[in-house]
């Protein structure tokens, strides 16, 4: 009986597979990202600007130590991301405008340590306004920054931040989603005062 089991085990072992078969571990995969529907709502509140933003986002005041009035965060809890908006009144002062534009580029350049490329472009929006977009490639927390101004009274800067340390390849769907939302924000941007 004992020899029967040994023979059966040998037959099963020899018959199971080709000796030339090599097994490799599976490569690491990325988590599945479920993106929310792109539905929009109007910004509520007493701000000197207004725009439409995603219904999957939440507006919160910016509470950083340097925050000024009308600085807000458009937070995406399900995507672990946010868009930080900083607003500066210009009061018709072109020197102030120059300073804020220089600051926008200075803040974007802080990512150059880990960036592999940086592109900027002026885009014409459907609403007739123009905006400057700065795209940053590489393992950086902010891939997309922008600013819009009427050159006399209002300056609004935005930066998209991902709160995740995951590799950028897996975050591409989130970055693309936030780019589309940002474009909608800029296309619906209006100055209120």
Q: Which residues contact 140 (CB under 8 A, 6 or more apart)?
A: 111, 114, 115
- Indicate whether 34 belongs to any domain: no
Cβ atoms 55, 40 nearer than 8 A? yes
Task: State the pLDDT at residue 114.
Answer: 78
Task: State the pLDDT at residue 165.
Answer: 58
The pair of three-digit structure tokens given for residue 169, joined into one six-digit string: 């390849």
The pair of three-digit structure tokens given for residue 102, joined into one six-digit string: 């220089």
- Indicate whether 20 belongs to any domain: no
- Alpha-helical runs (H) found in the chain: 2-15, 94-109, 168-187
The pair of three-digit structure tokens given for residue 31, joined into one six-digit string: 């988590």
- Indicate whether 120 belongs to any domain: yes
Task: State the pLDDT at residue 30.
Answer: 61
- Indicate whether 78 belongs to any domain: yes
Query: How many domains does one find in the chain?
Result: 1
39, burial (CB in 10 Å: exposed 0-12, middle 13-18, buried 19+): exposed
Task: State the pLDDT at residue 12.
Answer: 62
Task: State the pLDDT at residue 8.
Answer: 67
- Indicate whether 100 belongs to any domain: yes
Query: What's this model's pTM, rounded to 2 decimal places?
Result: 0.79
- Indicate whether 123 belongs to any domain: yes
Spell out the per-residue pLDDT of the chain, length 193, in tens: 667 767 766 666 665 555 566 767 766 666 677 788 889 999 999 999 999 999 999 999 999 999 999 999 999 999 999 999 999 999 999 999 999 999 998 988 887 777 788 899 998 887 778 899 999 888 888 889 999 999 999 999 999 998 875 556 677 888 899 999 999 999 999 998 7
DSSP string, 10-39: HHHHHHSS-TT----PPPP-PPP--PPP--
Cβ atoms 140, 73 nearer than 8 A? no
- Domain span at 136: 40-191
- Indicate whether 31 belongs to any domain: no
Residue 160, domain CATH: 3.40.1000
The dihedral formed by the CA atoms of 43, 151, 186 and 77, expressed in degrees to the nearest 10:
-60
- Indicate whether 132 belongs to any domain: yes
């Amino acid at each position: 009986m004992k020899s029967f089991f040994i023979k059966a085990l040998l037959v099963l072992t020899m018959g199971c597979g080709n000796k030339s078969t090599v097994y490799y571990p599976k490569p690491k995969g990325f988590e599945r990202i479920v993106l929310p529907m792109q539905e929009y709502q109007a910004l509520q509140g007493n701000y000197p600007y207004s725009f439409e933003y995603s219904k999957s986002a939440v507006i919160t005041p910016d509470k950083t130590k340097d925050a000024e009035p009308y600085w807000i965060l458009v937070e995406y809890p399900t995507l672990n991301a946010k868009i930080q908006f900083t607003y500066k009144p210009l009061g018709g002062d072109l020197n102030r405008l120059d300073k804020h534009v220089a600051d926008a580029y200075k803040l974007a350049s802080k990512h150059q340590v880990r960036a592999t490329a940086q592109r900027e472009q002026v885009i014409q929006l459907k609403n007739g306004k123009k905006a400057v977009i700065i795209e940053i490639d590489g393992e950086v927390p902010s891939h997309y920054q922008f600013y819009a101004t009427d050159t006399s009274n209002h300056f609004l800067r935005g930066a998209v931040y991902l709160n995740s340390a995951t590799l950028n390849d897996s975050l591409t769907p989130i970055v693309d989603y936030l780019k589309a939302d940002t474009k909608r924000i800029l296309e619906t941007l209006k100055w209120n005062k």
